[in-house]
Chains A and B, each alone.
Chain A
Amino acid sequence: GDSVTQMEGPVTLSEEAFLTINCTYTATGYPSLFWYVQYPGEGLQLLLKATKADDKGSNKGFEATYRKETTSFHLEKGSVQVSDSAVYFCALRSNAGGTSYGKLTFGQGTILTVHP
């Protein structure tokens, strides 16, 4: 079945440091890929998405490129801020039809803490 694996966390960085959170996936067909962010006490917010191979999703300085050859969708940001502290989830949504169609499959989440 579909699965998403994120890098082990938590991640602690100083402000203005470079961020990478690794994400790899297993899925049939050509899934759509997403990064969601969850701030303390809140629900999930879509950060960015990519729907086909080599697409780059970007938002608020975050970027991720859909790499089909390595089945990866790593999240990057060149200069993090304290306000980026949150939990980040990588997710996929299969378009293969059948029982996996439509649902989001999430990774376990990566806690990011940014210090001033």
Chain B
Amino acid sequence: DAGVTQSPTHLIKTRGQQVTLRCSPKSGHDTVSWYQQALGQGPQFIFQYYEEEERQRGNFPDRFSGHQFPNYSSELNVNALLLGDSALYLCASSLGLASYNEQFFGPGTRLTVL
């Protein structure tokens, strides 16, 4: 049973560019959440997708957008990259939205903006 997978593993971009990160949830899971983890910090919630809709959003600008596909996989898009967007981007999947359901995390995508 494959866990949460993310691609690519690492990515280097320059300021102003756009990036797309991808996530496949754990088998049987239908909810995907995205987090940004800056170096030395805890993860910060970006947004959550369920039934192909954005259900919740954290304090991130509109440059951060996402999508969920019918197979429950998800993409995170960041436009007009800033140096401050350099971070580890984590995807987590769960079954439904209940607060007690465990979120399983992927290994992350390390984004470096130069």
Please report A residues at the B interface, Cβ cutoff 8 Å.
Answer: 4, 31-32, 36, 42-46, 49, 51, 89, 91, 93-95, 99, 101-109
Q: From A44, A49, A51, name the one whose CB has the most chain B CB atoms within 10 angstroms.
A: A44
Q: Convert B20-59 into 0s and 1s, putting 1 for each residue whose CB lies closer than 8 angstroms to a CB of A.
A: 0000000000010101000011111100100000011010
Q: Tell me, yes or no, whether B106 is within 8 Å of chain A by CB.
A: yes
| Complex-state Cα separation, A49 to B98, whole angstroms | 14
List CB contacts (< 8 Å) of B84-114 with chain A. Answer: 90, 92, 97-100, 102-108
Please report B residues at the A interface, Cβ cutoff 8 Å.
Answer: 4, 31, 33, 35, 40-45, 48, 55-56, 58, 90, 92, 97-100, 102-108
Q: Are A43 and B56 in contact (CB under 8 A)?
A: no
Residues from chain A with a CB closer than 8 A to the CB of B48 are 102-103
Residues from chain A with a CB closer than 8 A to the CB of B44 are 106
Residues from chain B with a CB closer than 8 A to the CB of A105 are 45
CB distance from B112 to the nearest CB of A (A): 15
Residues from chain B with a CB closer than 8 A to the CB of A89 are 42-43
Also in contact, A102 and B99, with CB within 8 A (given A109-B41, A109-B42): yes
Q: Are B90 and A104 in contact (CB under 8 A)?
A: no
CB distance from B89 to the nearest CB of A (A): 10
